[in-house]
Amino acid sequence: MVKKQDVLYLEPYIIEKRRYLHQHPETGFEVKETHDYIAKELTDLGIETILHVGKNSLIGLIHNGKGPIIGLRADMDALPLEEQNDELSYKSIHKGIMHACGHDSHSAMLLGAASYLQTHKDLWKGTVKLIFQEAEEGPNPGGAYEIVRSNLLNDVDSFYAFHVSSEFESGKIATKKNATFASADTIKMTLHGKGCHAAYPHLGIDPIIMQAEVILGLQLIRSRILNPLEPSVITIAKVVSGTTHNIIPDIAYLEGTVRTFSVVVREKIKLEIEKVLKSVTEKYGGTYDYSYIYEYDPVINTPSEVDYIEKVVHQTLGNNVFTLLDRPSMGAEDFSRYIQLKQGCMMWLGTRKDESTSFGLHHPKFNLDEKALLNGSLLFINLVLAYEKG
């Protein structure tokens, strides 16, 4: 395995790529410019085989003789969010779009690793599949779906990915065995009442009253129906109804997310939501429409892969860098699709150095300590160099 001093020359390259991507964010499946930029970088590195998948995802192949086949994944889409980091020279130039989840840095780290692996083939054997994925943030079914469905990854032995986080000190690595990220589903509900003048509510059926009772009723699923030892979240995040102060509308709309780690709990929540809707609307004489949309499955890290990563981190960065977590995240990741295909692990890379880098993911002032990114590239490299399971 190589040491940090062996790859210090990569740091300016990684930071340059991260800043370019940060300044030119794109969302969802509409990441054509990002796709073209990364494709050119891979070509400039001498990587001859670049497979284009889905709408704007790509897989770069580094073939280096017979040996294990390893998948390294980086997402590259941004969020529909207005950046507030006015002090940055590389602030987003696209209004209302920002890399607030660190996917710019994920791609930059993978490019850094690709550069080293391509130019140091004397140190390893096998094949590396560099996966640059669109639409991790959605929309459903997310970018990993078509990549996995393409069958281009069926021969991969293990998959690895990083996710940056301000929850951890810059450069530190953290992960968990088994359940690591939650499933993420979307719920959409329309409550149908009967509109009328707000001064005469007895002449109508108020969907806003039904809306309020449904919101409160959904929280009782978590606190009074489910086993309190089973982690889950039911959040209503979008509430729409009405046009003005003196009209009771015909309809009210609710949208939210469901998170859990258990198939049984997932199905139980789906059923109990409909029970709440039925009870409330029948009480007032209204009706409802309900959609439960399955999106991302939970990320279940393979224990053996976590053990392998811990060993590589210790040998690469020392004994005080790795943390084995005892609690999962209620966040979601479509990296689950890769692990379900074979085996793998997603890791947190800490990026918090000071107050300016302490804002959380999806915050308009999210930023990171770029010095941490070299650790990510180095570990991608050493996960390949030390791999012996193929």
The pLDDT of residue 311 is above 70:
yes
Cα separation, 374 vs 111, whole angstroms: 11
- The answer to whether the bond into 139 is cis (omega within 30° of 0) is yes
Rg (CA), the chain: 23
Q: What is the pLDDT of residues 171-199, one digit of tens each?
A: 999 999 999 999 999 999 999 999 999 99
How many angstroms separate the Cα of 250 from the Cα of each of 127, 144, 159, 190, 288? 59, 39, 50, 10, 12
CATH code 3.40.630.10 region(s) in the chain: 4-180+298-385
The pLDDT of residue 390 is above 50:
no
CB atoms within 10 A of CB 371: 13
Query: 222: helix, coil or strand?
Result: helix
The pLDDT of residue 323 is above 60:
yes
296 assigned to active site: yes
Residues whose CB falls within 8 Å of the CB of residue 307, separated by 6 or more in sequence, listed in order:
none
Mean pLDDT of 239-252: 98
Give the distance from CA 147 to its chain's centroid. 15
Sheet architecture: strand order including 251-260 = 232-241, 251-260, 184-192, 287-296
Cβ(301)–Cβ(178) below 8 Å: yes
Q: What is the pLDDT of residues 159-173, one digit of tens each?
A: 999 999 999 999 999
The confidence band for 388, taking pLDDT boundaries of 50, 70 and 90, is: confident
pLDDT at residue number 170: 98
pLDDT at residue number 389: 57
CB atoms within 10 A of CB 195: 17
Q: What is the pLDDT of residues 54-78, one digit of tens each?
A: 999 999 999 999 999 999 999 999 9
Q: Which of 146, 118, 128 is nearest to 47 (CA)?
A: 118
CB atoms within 10 A of CB 139: 12
Catalytically annotated residue among 296, 308, 338, 387: 296
The pLDDT of residue 306 is above 50:
yes
Cα separation, 91 vs 94, whole angstroms: 9
Mean pLDDT of 90-112: 98
Looking at CATH, the fold of the domain delimited by 4-180+298-385 is given as Aminopeptidase (3.40.630)
370 assigned to active site: yes
Percent above pLDDT 90 for the chain: 99
Q: What is the pLDDT of residues 272-288, one digit of tens each?
A: 999 999 999 999 999 99
- CATH architecture observed for domain 184-296: 2-Layer Sandwich (3.30)
Residue 178 backbone zone (phi > 0: left; psi -120 to 50: alpha; other: beta): left
CATH code 3.30.70.360 region(s) in the chain: 184-296
